Amino acid sequence: MNRKISACLLSALLLSADAFPLGYLYAGGDFVEQTTVMESQWKGKRVAFLGDSITDKKRIGTTKCYWEYLAEMLGLQPFVYAINGNRMDGILRQANRLLEERGDSIDAIIIFAGTNDYNAGIPVGEWYKEGEKEAQVAGPSMELRKHREPVMSDSTFKGRINLVMDFLKTNYPDKQVIMLTPLHRGKARFSDRNVQPEEAFPNKNGVYVDTYVQAVKEAANIWAVPVIDLNGISGLYPLNDSHTRYFHDGETDRLHPNAEGHYRMAKALMYQLLAYPASFD
């Protein structure tokens, strides 16, 4: 009975969320300012954002980032450590900086990365290495069994995720940690020396971006962290010309969302975040 009541309350919150003012509303080709923040578990929470150019405070290709819209929609306090061009190994450096600067005075950590690992051709790798080890069993006695350990390596994508998650689980055991899957990728040409093909092409190792997206999804069960599939729920699809309205430049940069794209990302994330605890106090 209690489960039914909880489900009904959550459904009511989600269905009625549009009735709450959401900071800034994108309508009619412009943003209309609103003043009231949604009352939710995220209001006032301190949230660290780790990531790459799409999260960077320098606002690559946009005048406003998704975490700024989330701050207005949900009232959270963003602390942004993302750096343009960073891959998953850079996320570990950002996490170390977070710990040095803020200690554990944070409520939640959101990680949005992986697209640069794909573009650079970082091998996907494996989650575990397997061997044999003695295990204590009934009796008590010792029995030789197969045994696996996480691959802790900065040379593979999954190994890098393992390093990041091990660091966060060790240093932030009581904090909410959420991962986001990479967005779909359109073509980008930043210079003659930096041309990035659309996701219809695999990287230099012959691996499509889907494999990296799937690895981030798998991290949910490997490390017991929520993963929000922004690749799917954002609705952003730069391979279709009609979606250039959401990206920096239809000719030269279908990789970085513009302000309208970031708003759409934030709106999608808002509904997902409402389903998760912002802290475990």
- pLDDT tens digit string along 78-106? 999 999 999 999 999 999 999 999 999 99
Task: Kindly report which listed range (20-24, 45-49, 230-234) carries the lowest average pLDDT score.
Answer: 20-24
Residue 125 in this model has a pLDDT that exceeds 70 = yes
- pTM across the whole model: 0.88
pLDDT above 70 as % of the chain: 87
The Cα angle at residue 172 between residues 103 and 85, in degrees rounded to 5: 80
Residue 28 in this model has a pLDDT that exceeds 60 = no
Alpha-carbon distances, residue 216 vs 112, 114, 160, 270 (angstroms): 10, 8, 11, 20
Q: Within a 13 Å sphere around the CA of 210, how many CA atoms are in the beta-carbon half?
A: 5
The Cα–Cα gap between 238 and 249 comes to 10
Residue 40 in this model has a pLDDT that exceeds 60 = yes
- Residue pLDDT, tens place only, 51-77: 999 999 999 999 999 999 999 999 999
User: Quick one: pLDDT at residue 4?
Assistant: 46
The stretch 165-173 carries a mean pLDDT of 98
Alpha-carbon distances, residue 206 vs 119, 211, 249 (angstroms): 11, 11, 27
Dihedral angle over CA of 170, 71, 254, 164, nearest 10:
0
Both structure tokens of 72: 């207005």
If phi > 0 it is left, if psi is from -120 to 50 it is alpha, else beta; for residue 85 that is left
Alpha-carbon distances, residue 74 vs 36, 40, 69 (angstroms): 10, 7, 8
Please provide the average confidence, as pLDDT, over all residues in the chain. Answer: 90
